Structure formats: C-alpha cells, structure tokens
Homo-oligomer: A and B are copies of this chain.
Amino acid sequence: MTTQHHDDPALQELYADFEQHNLLPLWTQREDLMPLVPTPSAVAHRWRWADLYPLAVRSGTLVPVGRGGERRAIALANPGLAGEPHATPTLWAAIQYLGPGEVAPDHRHSQNAFRFVLEGEGVWTVVNSDPVRMSRGDLLLTPGWAWHGHHNTTDQPMAWLDGLDIPLASCLDANFFEFGPDDLVDRSTPRLSRAERLWAHPALRPVQGAAKGPHSPLAAYRWEHTDAALRAQLELEDEGHSGAVEAGHAAVIFADPVTGGDALPTIRTEMHRLRPHANTARTREVGSSVWQVFDGSGEFLLGDQAVGVERGDVVTVPSWTPVQINAADSGLDLFRFSDTPVMEKLGYARQQVAGETE
C-alpha cells in the first residue's frame, strides 16, 4: 500500500470505477477517517457577553418573535464548523431574547432543550401546560417532545442561554417538530411549577408518578438549591471533610430524581463553583461541552490557549481538548453542559487528568 503508484493508469481506472459505483477506498483516507486521537473541526472559542447581549437587544427591536421562526434565538456558531449554527458537533447554544409582553408560541420537538438564566426575571415557560417561572440561576427543562412556549409578563426584556442537542439529532436524523396552538394555554404566573411542587423535595418521591422515563419529571432546578449545594461542599471542605470535586472546586449535576441519572438523556448539565484563585486539574475527555460564566471572572486554559472570561461569557470545549480553569479574585460560578451522557451510554467515554494518566 505504501509502495503503490498513484499514477498507475490501472489504479486510476480502478478509482474512477469506484467513483462511478459510489465507492471509496479506505486505504487512501484511513488516517483522516480513523485518526490516532480525536481531531475535532470544532474549536475552542469564547463569546463575550458584552457582545452577545447588545446584539440580542438589537434583534429585539428589529425582529419580531412569532410563528414560523418561533424563537428569537441567536446561535453561537463554532468558527470551526463551517457556517453551521452549532456550538459543538452535538450541542446547540443560543442567546434567546424576549421583549416586554412578547410570546414565543407553543411547539414541541424531539430535540432536548433547557434554558439557563443568567439574569432577569418575569418570563414563564409553559411546559406541557405547566407554567414555569424563569429567574436568575435557574435551570429549566423542556425535554424532547414536551410542548413549550414562553411569555414575558413584564415591561422589561429578558435574555437567557438556550441549550439543545440539535446537531446530534441532525447527525442522527432524529428530528421531529410539531406546532402547537398559536397562543399559550395558560398565562398564569405561579412562583412554582406543578412539576416542582411534586418533585423538588430532597430524595422524596411521590408514590404516584414515579415511572421511569428518558428524562427528569422536574421542570425547574432553582438557583437557591444549586447555590446551597455548592456552598455546602465548600463549607465541608473548610471543615476538613470530603465532598468537593478537588481543592476549592465544588460541583453538582442536575439529576433525574426518578433514576438518579442525567436530567436529559443526551445532555449533562452541571454547576461549578471555584473559590477565589482556585484552579481545576488540567483534564481532557471525549465529548464536547459549553460553559457559561454565571458569576465572577477568571481564565480558561484550552490546550495552549488562555482565554479570560467574565460574567455571561460562553466558552466551547471540543472533544479531547485539555481544559484548566483558574478563578480570579472573585471566584467563579460556571454553568456547564456537555454530551457526556451520549459518550457514557455508547461506550465512548474516556477521560485523562494531567498528572494522573498522561
């Protein structure tokens, strides 16, 4: 194979015949097709909130929200992914913006979705007829095939982060979509959704409704609980007990209370807290992720590249790219989502921590 002459006319004729019959030889492209380690097209990239938010505001004045376009969502298009609106090969991330009094109409799709709220309040997302308040720090789920629409009940606009598995569903040709009624069925604005009232009790399961499904029955994970869980891990560390991920680094996974697994079947969602000046271990893993700075500032070391981050900034991390995060004086609160459940379920998961296995 190494000795073959590519200008051999017989070989050229063979390759032409291959092409005519929709065939491609492995031996000329094995290296590209089966590289030694992942060679993502996606790149590590940071979007600044200072850019994102003003653009969202401008969209609000220029683009109406309504049936057809469905959402005023601006996707973070990874510069390595050739004009695709994908943050990574599996994950879609966008800033969604809803002006005063606006309504994003009801629909559903097979893609799994969540919202994570950096700031603001006054919007309710109605998930399977259950109105769910959206406030700073909350994670809100709209799992695959759940009906959902949003409405802003205030005279202030609101923007948040949307995360979906659109690229994965596209890659797998698993995308279904259905329009709901043009108007929302329930415009009430309860503080807690019915899903929360049933399910958001620590390690308590209603006797009714405990059937296992692909996703969590809990529509909202409130900041007050997330914050308390992170704080407790660091306090335990202060007292000399285990609980934190590593020195100065607390983290929780948003879970499905019915199974203990991930809240969504294709997306892991996590919240991380780093103390002032804390550093994570340099780690790389199979699969891609998206981070948003919820609070504080610091630095991401992505391979050989150092990127400063401030509140609201969004960072993509391609597969097998080493990541280290360093918090500044302020400490860092970080929301993360990733395709880790996909890797784990399909048997592709690998992780390498600097100093441990390298």
A181 CB, min distance to chain B CBs, angstroms = 17
Map CB proximity to B onto A8-30 as digits: 1 under 8 Å, 0 otherwise. 10110010011001111111111
**Contact: A85 with B33, CB < 8 Å?**
yes
With an 8 A cutoff between CB atoms, is A122 at the interface?
no
Which has the most chain B C-beta neighbours within 10 Å: A203, A205, A218?
Answer: A203
**Contact: A71 with B27, CB < 8 Å?**
yes
Rounded to whole angstroms, the CA-CA distance of A242 and B130 in the bound complex is 12
Rounded to whole angstroms, the CA-CA distance of A23 and B345 in the bound complex is 31
Rounded to whole angstroms, the CA-CA distance of A37 and B174 in the bound complex is 8
A238 CB, min distance to chain B CBs, angstroms = 12
Rounded to whole angstroms, the CA-CA distance of A89 and B89 in the bound complex is 13
Residues in chain B near residue A47, CB distance under 8 A: 21-23
Q: Which of B178, B208, B339 contacts A172 (CB 8 A)?
A: B339
Within 8 A of B (CB), among A245-267: 245, 251-260, 263, 265-266
With an 8 A cutoff between CB atoms, is A127 at the interface?
no
With an 8 A cutoff between CB atoms, is A355 at the interface?
no
Map CB proximity to B onto A262-299 as digits: 1 under 8 Å, 0 otherwise. 01011000100000000000000011100000000000
With an 8 A cutoff between CB atoms, is A3 at the interface?
yes
Known: A85-B26, A216-B203, A257-B260. A194 touches B38 (CB 8 A): no
Known: A109-B34, A346-B266. A253 touches B174 (CB 8 A): no
Map CB proximity to B onto A318-352 as digits: 1 under 8 Å, 0 otherwise. 11100000000000000000010011011110100
User: What residues of chain A have their CB less than 8 Å away from a CB belonging to chain B?
Assistant: 1-4, 8, 10-11, 14, 17-18, 21-31, 33-40, 42, 45, 47, 51-52, 55, 58-59, 62-79, 83, 85, 89-90, 94, 109-112, 144, 166, 168-178, 194, 197-210, 212, 214-216, 218, 221, 225-226, 228-229, 232-233, 235-236, 241-245, 251-260, 263, 265-266, 270, 286-288, 318-320, 339, 342-343, 345-348, 350
